[in-house]
Amino acid sequence: MTLLKKVSDTIYSFERVLAIGLCTIMFLSLFLGVVFRYLLSSPLIWATELATFALVWVTFIGGSMGIKQHKAAAVTFLVDKLHGVMRKVLISIGFVIVVGFSVFMIYISISWLSSPNISVQTSTALGVPMLIPYVSVLIGFIFILIHSTLLLVEAAVQEGGQ
C-alpha cells in the first residue's frame, strides 16, 4: 500500500502542475483571442481550439484530482444515514464501482485510440494530431484508477482494523 500511496501522491503532484499550466493556457489563449479579434481586428483562428483542448485535459485531470481529494460529486444521502460496518461496506462498494468503471473506460479508450482513423485525424486550426486531446480520456482514467484503488485499499484496511 505504501508504494501505491507514493505513486498516487506523485501523480497528484503532477496533476496539480498540469492543471495550473492548462488553466493558464486556457486563459491566455482566450484572452489573446479576444484582444486580437476585437482590438486588433485580426482574429487568431487557433485560440479557441487551443483553449478547448486545454479544457478537455483539465476536465479529466480535474476529475482525477477530485477523486484523490474526496471532492468528487457524490450522492451521499444513504451513506450519511448509515453507521459502523454498513457505512464502510457501502463506501467500499462505491470505490469498487469507480475502479470497475475506470477499468472499463481504460479498455474502451485503448480500443478507441488504437483504431486506424484516429491516427490520421488532425485538428482544423492547429493542425496537431487529434490523438493529443483524445488521449486525455485514457490518462485521466488511468489516474482515476490509481487514486480510487488507493482509496479502496485504505477503506478495506480501515474496515479490517476496526
More confident residue, 81 or 5: 5
106-128 residue pLDDT tens: 999 999 999 999 989 999 999 99
Using 50, 70 and 90 to split pLDDT, how confident is the model at 1? Answer: low
Give domain limits for the chain.
2-161
The rounded percent of the chain whose pLDDT value lies above 90 is 75
Helix, strand or coil for residue 41?
coil
Task: Give the cell for residue 74.
Answer: 457524490
Other beta carbons less than 10 A from residue 26's beta carbon:
18
44-65 residue pLDDT tens: 999 999 999 999 999 999 999 9
Average pLDDT over residues 143-157: 92
Q: How far is CA 22 from CA 25, 38, 54, 62, 64, in A?
A: 5, 24, 5, 11, 15
HEC per residue, 82-142: CCHHHHHHHHHHHHHHHHHHHHHHHHHHHHHHCCHHHHHCECCCCCCECHHHHHHHHHHHH
Helix-strand-coil split of the chain, %, nearest 5: 80, 0, 20
Q: Of 19, 50, 56, 21, nearest to 33 (Cα)?
A: 50
